[in-house]
Chain A
């Protein structure tokens, strides 16, 4: 009996040593190409669709091996905007999505569009920003989840005020 416990312990420890959790994998795999978007930004159905279409992820082959994919999907679904109570911008965005829609981009959601409608196109396409995918370029605390106005600084548009 004692032996069985040791074996079980060894298996568990071995497993922990090599396995990475869903959050770490999400940060590593997805964050290799773009900002690590908070899962709260989109509803479950969006994350499901994104994870099912990684072979053509906005023009890139972002496919993963099935074990990694499963762990990342689990993490995203458990933390999506409609799986727990979310606040602030996350809440605004989630609530703005019509139930019939499954956005694949945060920038497609009605609240996002409304909040960014006055920003000149050039401010987004300039090389310091590149695209709406690059939240960090202007939202200086985006990675920490702070998208408030006081953290906003558009490169080369020092006097920008909404």
Chain B
């Protein structure tokens, strides 16, 4: 019985990476591509977050188009009208707790605005900015 329990517990522990670990992973990757990399910056993250680009469906958008520039506020998907819960963990403690979700949304939303995935450095910068808000 014990063995069975362990069998179930191991994958849960293995797959539930913490945000700290994920940031560490991103940092290791960022260092690999740029030896002068000195750590993530919330300020750079803010710039990434508020820069307008021709994004999804040819529309000029930034991350703030849907998330607003106050991450403690509720946002809204400007294409579908669906409300988006605040991104800031201070306003919404569930945020950034599920790394599977964090990865998914970073991938999707970078593509929505920048039409490409973010680099490890960009992802780390944005995460730091969100944590900072």
Q: Is the CB of A133 within 8 A of B4?
A: no
Interface residues of B in 67-95 (CB under 8 A from A): 77-82
Residue of B nearest to A137 (CB): B81
A95 sits at the interface (CB 8 A): no
| With known contacts A18-B12, A35-B82, A130-B81, A60–B4 Cβ distance under 8 A | no
Is A134 within 8 A of B57, CB to CB? no
Q: List 25 A-B contacts (CB under 8 A).
A: A10-B8, A11-B4, A14-B7, A14-B8, A17-B8, A32-B82, A33-B77, A33-B82, A34-B80, A35-B80, A59-B56, A59-B112, A60-B56, A60-B108, A61-B108, A61-B111, A61-B112, A62-B108, A129-B81, A130-B78, A130-B79, A133-B80, A134-B81, A134-B82, A136-B81
Interface residues on A, range: 20 to 34
A10, B57: Cβ atoms under 8 Å?
Answer: no
Query: Is B5 on the interface with A (CB-CB < 8 A)?
Result: yes
The one of B8, B81, B82, B112 in contact with A60, judged by C-beta atoms closer than 8 angstroms, is B112
The answer for the CA separation of A131 and B78 in the assembled complex, in Å, is 9
Query: Chain B interface mostly helix, strand, loop or mixed?
Result: helix
Question: Whole-angstrom distance from the CB of B68 to the nearest CB of chain A?
Answer: 13
Interface residues of B (CB under 8 A from A): 1, 4-5, 7-8, 12, 56-57, 77-82, 107-108, 111-112
Please tell me if A7 contacts chain B, counting CB pairs below 8 Å. Answer: yes
Mark interface residues in A130-162 (1 if CB within 8 Å of B CB, else 0): 110110110000000000000000000000000
Which residue of the partner chain, among A10, A61, A133, contacts B5 with CB atoms under 8 Å?
A: A10
Looking at A18, A32, A136, the one whose CB has the most chain B CB atoms below 10 A away is A32
**Inter-chain contact A134/B80, CB cutoff 8 Å:** yes
A133: min CB distance to chain B, Å: 4
Q: For residue A59, which residues in chain B have a CB less than 8 angstroms away from its CB?
A: 56-57, 112
The distance in angstroms between the C-alpha atoms of A62 and B80, with both chains bound, is 14
Given A10-B1, A10-B5, A11-B4, A131 and B111 contact (CB-CB distance below 8 Å): no
